[in-house]
């Protein structure tokens, strides 16, 4: 029997009282402003474009590596707080991590790194002499308030910028004072990680634990992350504790004899030197961090980070050899974890499963809470909201009997056909009355097995009767397009099956070599784009958006990522008026078999393709008169272009999607997108095709640079972001003007939109007000409501578990609120959804020790991946309570929007936001499935930040996040979860 959870706990802590205060004392070092002039003179010598600030980021990286006990802060600029900020902090009582001699040596090496050119050697020596005349002075007793903080005009906590780093480090030190965590088969001994100016909170890493798999010993650690967060309209800050698994790469290639490190990709290495690297420095219990890269000069420590400076100084012990570390990674781990290469999925498979399950998370959190000082307390358990009916009025039906299941599936197919007919009528409003709309689809196939499977999957997905006039013999598909047609009561489905020639689906034509210029890649993409558009147009040009299912190899089956033609195929089809959904060629190779689930993948591909046509069964709310009649849902999303943009900075493309439920019910809805050029709403698939005009890849080949061309200057990131914000807020005002006069609920994703629409930031928002630009906040429009959605990305919402006093703490689905929240005035709620149907691992799974399962057998779960639904925060930032609006009802409606009846599992975002986020597939190249660096994202409400396209709520745990050193290059901050 499924346990009913009446409360959930979150791994979060609060100050015990609003007046709780902790004052910590530090030794602190300010960056000497007297150095600014000489350093800028050195940096700007011979440069046409003058730098405005001294670049300290490489020095910051070195300090994190060689003096991990230091807390490195960004250079002070407009510091907000009671006292001045400093560059370096070290807690009182910690031995001096940076003796004067070591600091002077580092400064000299830093200067040589700033200007290594021989012609500036004398200027560098003169600069060093000037710096030595005014050495930096440590202050021995600097007091910092760690808990108490002011509040904003919206009554939201506004922590001092130092607290995000110093307070979490203080809490981490409290946890380190505990006895090691006993997990039954051993004990976890944690060590802290160095944290730099752009790192998020504090991090503790356990010793490496062995796991004996089928291929030998694999290694992993348990990681604790502590972050400082805020919640809208809450005057108290919160501290989140996140627990995860970090795996280490030890599997070397049979041919290469070393770890697989993709070209140009950096990998993080945790280091523990046997003696301090800096002469005279004390031994540290903390890990150090550095990064390896395979670059033009071979395998080496990242030259733009510590290695560039470390070449200029003498260390007590050198860094490990990159080649030795890559060829014998296990030996370094066994040797007291002197070095451990953090694993990422680009390195192949790993026999340790990612993530921890809810019960084990709860036990580790309870252990860590023993370290809480009297000034902190656990956040009270969240309770169910008073409004019931957590599911929509038209929930997905999951009967148990075979006959009932077949009936339910037919009903879902009927709903899909009705939804497709509704979407097609919106695409062709001039369709004569009584005339059936026509759904044009194409199947661009390569293998007969996928062709036949895809045709059968489409017929089953829409419950189409008959074979559609399929050719009697397989040879009928080989010569020219084979056209299949089904006439159903709601619509006509016409499928054109075309064999995709190898040249169109093969490698992009690029010269041999591991590296390719942006111009060469763009030219190859543009050429293939024109070929694909011509191929589609010659067959049958589309007057209205059509859909193509395209069979193509996996990304790893091409010569390199640059050779992958997927995005060129998408853009070429879009130029011909055709939307695209891709399906991998079925094959069976070692470690991979896509033949066994080809039917499931084909059905899913058709479903995703229909979504692009605007076909989605809309979740109908169950709140009756508690919501305005004829309420529409408007979702806004900021698509971030990739870092290879022509300006070298991340660009932006705003997207708006308007979902208008069909008054007739049955889950029908009209889905539209905003056409910014025409300033009008167009059908959703039309908007998707228009977005390809904003893609980075031009339609025509890119000419190469000519001799004598002046290099393109790099614009100021700050000036570029200010312009992006002005453009985005002007765009938003136009969108909102278009929806006036009808009740509209505006949905925005916090991590995605707030860097461009700053009103969404916790430090800016005021209840029931609205600001879209630099003008003062104004009263919310009478027909507009605003709900901000925040997900677990960046650890901004806490990990959670359902409270079960009689057994393992598990997972619960509902909308939750604080136990003391006034149901009439509460504005912030938390949404959880059911676990995925494919999820099998028990909530009691133990990744660290054997356990007895429900069958009474001893089992170990280390090799199993853990899946947990994320906690989604729903903040009702604006409504009209004086006119009868209930924030709880609005939040519950958004919670129900995560449960689309035609999807087997819940979404990570409400359906309108989900549709808006997926639009970026037509602006950005298809994202790699590899897990990339996500550990060091900006703090809450900091700039810039991005968000990847949304997906299902039951996404896997973040895999072995690479630790980013604090190299501040905003153009690289493109993340995802």
Q: What is the pLDDT of residues 940-967, one digit of tens each?
A: 222 223 334 566 554 444 444 444 333 2
Is residue 305 over pLDDT 80?
Answer: no
How high is the pLDDT of residue 475? 86
Residue 602's pLDDT band (boundaries 50, 70, 90)? very high
Is residue 83 over pLDDT 80?
Answer: no
Whose CA is closest to 566, among 524, 619, 515? 524
Runs of H (alpha helix) within 67-116: 100-114
How high is the pLDDT of residue 712? 45
SS (H, E, C) 129-144: HHHHHCCCCEEEEEEE
Give the separation between CA 947 and CA 230, rounded to whole angstroms.
19
Other CB atoms within 10 Å distance of the CB of residue 501: 12
How high is the pLDDT of residue 737? 94
Give the separation between CA 607 and CA 598, rounded to whole angstroms.
14
Is residue 175 over pLDDT 50?
Answer: yes
Angle between helices 100-114 and 36-44 (to 10 degrees): 30
Residue 878's Cα: distance from chain center in Å?
26
Mean pLDDT of 895-899: 96
How high is the pLDDT of residue 270? 94
Count CA atoms within 13 Å of residue 580 on its CB side.
Answer: 28
Contact 859, 884 (CB under 8 A): no
Mean pLDDT of 746-767: 95
Please give the DSSP secondary-structure letter assigned to residue 155. Answer: S
How high is the pLDDT of residue 76? 58
Residue 49's pLDDT band (boundaries 50, 70, 90)? confident
Beta-sheet pairing, 546-552 with 578-584: parallel
Residue 93's pLDDT band (boundaries 50, 70, 90)? confident
Contact 224, 204 (CB under 8 A): yes
How high is the pLDDT of residue 233? 96
Mean pLDDT of 357-361: 95
How high is the pLDDT of residue 930? 30
Give the separation between CA 407 and CA 397, rounded to whole angstroms.
10
- What would the DSSP string read from start to end of 793-826? GGG-S--EEE--TTS--B---EEEE-TT--TTT-
pLDDT tens per residue across span 787-844: 999 999 989 999 999 999 989 999 999 999 999 888 788 999 999 998 888 778 899 9
- What would the DSSP string read from start to end of 775-791? SPPEEPPTTEEEEEEE-
Residue 770's Cα: distance from chain center in Å?
27
Is residue 225 over pLDDT 70?
Answer: yes
Mean pLDDT of 102-115: 86
Is residue 646 over pLDDT 60?
Answer: no
How high is the pLDDT of residue 698? 60
- Residues 6+ positions from 623 with CB-CB distance below 8 Å: 387, 389, 889, 892, 893
Is residue 628 over pLDDT 90?
Answer: yes
How high is the pLDDT of residue 702? 55
Give the separation between CA 729 and CA 452, rounded to whole angstroms.
49
From 468-477, 721-730, 943-952, the region with the lowest mean pLDDT: 943-952
Is residue 756 over pLDDT 70?
Answer: yes
Residue 715's pLDDT band (boundaries 50, 70, 90)? low
Is residue 192 over pLDDT 60?
Answer: yes
Other CB atoms within 10 Å distance of the CB of residue 621: 22
Count CA atoms within 13 Å of residue 894 on its CB side.
Answer: 34
Give the separation between CA 493 and CA 780, rounded to whole angstroms.
45
Q: Which residues of 266-305 are buried (b: 16+ CB within 10 A; e: fewer)?
A: bbbbbbbbeebbbeebeebebbbbbbbbbbeeebebbebb
pTM of the model: 0.91
Q: Is 654 left (phi over 0), alpha (psi -120 to 50) or beta?
A: beta
Contact 936, 166 (CB under 8 A): no
Beta-sheet pairing, 851-852 with 578-584: unpaired
pLDDT tens per residue across span 656-696: 999 999 888 778 899 999 999 899 999 999 999 999 887 76
Residue 699's pLDDT band (boundaries 50, 70, 90)? low
Whose CA is closest to 717, among 651, 811, 639? 651
Please give the DSSP secondary-structure letter assigned to residue 967. Answer: -
Rounded percentage of the chain residues whose pLDDT exceeds 90: 55
Residue 46's Cα: distance from chain center in Å?
41
Rounded percentage of the chain residues whose pLDDT exceeds 70: 88
Give the separation between CA 366 and CA 369, rounded to whole angstroms.
5
Is residue 312 over pLDDT 70?
Answer: no
Is residue 968 over pLDDT 50?
Answer: no
Is residue 749 over pLDDT 60?
Answer: yes
Give the separation between CA 771 and CA 749, rounded to whole angstroms.
16
pLDDT tens per residue across span 198-222: 777 999 999 999 999 888 999 999 9
Mean pLDDT of 111-134: 89
Contact 381, 8 (CB under 8 A): yes
pLDDT tens per residue across span 58-76: 888 888 888 889 999 886 5
Is residue 851 over pLDDT 60?
Answer: yes
Is residue 612 over pLDDT 80?
Answer: yes
How high is the pLDDT of residue 355? 92
Mean pLDDT of 442-446: 95
Geometric angle at alpha carbon 207, from 206 and 212, rounded to 5°: 115
Whose CA is closest to 417, among 489, 465, 470? 489
pLDDT tens per residue across span 523-540: 888 899 999 999 998 888
User: Across all residues in the chain, what is the average pLDDT?
Assistant: 85
Beta-sheet pairing, 138-145 with 190-192: unpaired
Q: How many helices, marked H, and strands, marked E, lie in the chain?
A: 20, 40
Which residue has tokens 């796991």? 211
How high is the pLDDT of residue 78? 40
Give the separation between CA 53 and CA 33, rounded to whole angstroms.
11
Beta-sheet pairing, 778-779 with 769-770: antiparallel
How high is the pLDDT of residue 303? 54
């Amino acid at each position: 029997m499924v346990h009913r959870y009446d409360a959930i706990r979150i791994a979060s802590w609060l100050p015990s009282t609003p007046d709780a205060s902790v004052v910590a004392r530090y030794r602190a070092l300010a960056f000497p402003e007297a150095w600014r002039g000489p350093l800028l003179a050195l940096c700007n010598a011979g440069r046409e474009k003058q730098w405005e600030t001294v670049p300290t980021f490489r020095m910051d990286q070195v300090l994190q590596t060689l003096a991990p006990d230091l807390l490195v802060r960004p250079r002070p600029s407009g510091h907000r707080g009671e006292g001045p900020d400093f560059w370096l902090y070290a807690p009182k009582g910690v031995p001096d991590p940076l003796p004067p001699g070591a600091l002077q040596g580092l400064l000299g090496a830093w200067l040589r790194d700033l200007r290594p050119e021989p012609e500036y050697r004398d200027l560098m020596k003169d600069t060093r002499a000037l710096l030595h005349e005014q050495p930096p002075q440590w202050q021995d007793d600097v007091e910092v308030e760690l808990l108490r903080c002011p509040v904003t005009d919206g009554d939201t906590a506004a922590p001092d910028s130092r607290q995000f780093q110093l307070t979490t480090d203080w809490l981490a030190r409290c946890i380190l004072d505990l006895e090691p965590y006993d997990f039954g088969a051993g004990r976890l001994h944690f060590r802290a990680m160095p944290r730099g100016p752009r790192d998020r909170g504090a991090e503790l890493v356990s010793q490496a634990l062995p796991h004996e798999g089928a291929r030998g010993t694999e290694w992993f650690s348990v990681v604790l992350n502590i972050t400082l967060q805020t919640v809208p309209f809450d005057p108290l800050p919160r501290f989140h504790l996140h627990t995860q698994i970090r795996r280490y790469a030890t599997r070397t290639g049979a041919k290469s004899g070393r770890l697989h490190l993709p070209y140009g990709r950096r990998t993080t290495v945790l280091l523990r030197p046997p003696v301090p690297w800096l002469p005279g420095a004390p031994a540290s219990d903390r890990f150090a961090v550095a990064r390896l890269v395979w670059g033009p000069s071979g395998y080496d420590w990242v030259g733009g980070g510590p290695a560039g400076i470390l070449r200029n100084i003498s260390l007590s012990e050198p860094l490990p050899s990159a080649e030795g570390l890559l060829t014998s990674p296990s030996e370094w781990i066994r040797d007291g974890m002197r070095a451990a290469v953090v694993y990422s999925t680009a390195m192949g498979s790993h026999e340790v499963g990612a993530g921890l399950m809810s019960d084990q998370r709860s036990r580790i959190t309870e252990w860590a809470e023993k370290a809480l000082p009297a000034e902190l307390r656990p956040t009270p358990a969240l309770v169910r909201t008073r409004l019931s009916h957590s599911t929509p009025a038209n929930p997905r039906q999951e009967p148990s009997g075979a006959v009932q299941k077949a009936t339910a599936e037919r009903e879902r197919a009927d709903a899909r056909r009705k939804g497709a007919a509704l979407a097609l009528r919106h695409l062709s409003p001039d369709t004569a009355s009584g005339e059936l709309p026509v759904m044009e689809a194409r199947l661009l196939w390569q293998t007969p097995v996928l062709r036949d499977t895809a045709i059968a999957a489409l017929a089953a997905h829409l419950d189409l009767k008959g074979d559609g006039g399929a050719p009697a013999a397989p040879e009928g598909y080989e010569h020219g397009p084979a056209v299949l047609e089904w006439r159903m009561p709601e619509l006509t489905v016409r499928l054109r099956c075309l064999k995709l020639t190898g040249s169109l689906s093969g490698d992009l034509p690029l010269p041999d070599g591991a590296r390719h210029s942006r111009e060469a890649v763009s030219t190859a993409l543009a050429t293939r784009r024109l070929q694909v558009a011509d191929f589609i147009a010659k067959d049958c040009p589309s007057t209205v958006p059509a859909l193509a299912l395209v069979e193509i190899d996996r990304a790893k089956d091409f010569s390199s990522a640059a050779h992958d033609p997927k995005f060129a195929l998408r853009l070429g089809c879009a130029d011909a008026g055709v939307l695209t959904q891709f399906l991998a060629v079925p094959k069976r190779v070692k470690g991979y078999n896509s033949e066994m689930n080809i039917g499931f993948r084909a059905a899913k591909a058709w479903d995703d393709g229909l979504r692009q046509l605007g076909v989605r069964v809309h979740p109908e709310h169950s709140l009756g008169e508690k919501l305005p009649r004829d309420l529409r849902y408007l979702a806004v999303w900021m698509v971030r272009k990739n870092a290879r943009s022509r300006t070298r900075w991340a660009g932006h493309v705003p997207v708006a999607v308007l979902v208008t439920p069909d008054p007739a019910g049955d889950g029908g809805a009209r889905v539209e997108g905003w056409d910014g050029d025409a300033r009008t709403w167009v059908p959703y698939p039309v908007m998707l095709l228009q977005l390809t005009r904003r893609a980075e890849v031009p339609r025509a080949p890119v000419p190469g640079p000519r001799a004598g061309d002046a290099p393109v200057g790099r614009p100021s990131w700050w000036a570029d972001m200010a312009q992006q914000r002005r453009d985005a807020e002007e765009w938003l005002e136009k969108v909102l003007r278009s929806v006036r006069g009808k009740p509209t609920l505006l949905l925005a994703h916090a991590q995605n939109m707030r860097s461009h629409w700053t009103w969404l930031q916790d430090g800016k928002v005021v209840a029931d007000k609205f600001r879209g630009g630099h003008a003062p906040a104004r009263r919310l429009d009478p027909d507009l409501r605003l709900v901000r959605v925040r997900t677990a990305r960046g650890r901004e919402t806490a990990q959670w578990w359902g409270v079960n006093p009689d057994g393992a703490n598990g997972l619960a689905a509902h909308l939750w609120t604080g136990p003391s929240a006034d149901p009439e005035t509460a504005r912030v709620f938390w949404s959880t959804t059911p676990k995925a149907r494919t999820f099998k691992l028990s909530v009691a799974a133990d990744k660290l020790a054997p356990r007895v399962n429900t069958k009474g057998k001893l089992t170990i779960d280390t090799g199993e991946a853990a899946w947990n639904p994320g906690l989604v925060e729903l903040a009702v930032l604006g409504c009209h309570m004086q006119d009868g609006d209930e924030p709880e009802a609005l939040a519950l409606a958004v919670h129900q929007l995560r449960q689309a009846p035609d999807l087997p599992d819940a979404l990570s975002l409400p359906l309108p936001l989900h549709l808006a986020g997926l639009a970026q597939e037509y602006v950005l190249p298809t994202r790699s499935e590899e897990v990339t660096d996500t550990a060091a994202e900006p703090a809450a409400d900091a700039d810039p930040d991005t968000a990847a396209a949304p997906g299902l709520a039951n996404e896997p745990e973040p895999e072995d996040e690479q630790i980013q050193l604090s190299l501040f290059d905003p153009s690289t901050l493109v993340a995802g979860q």
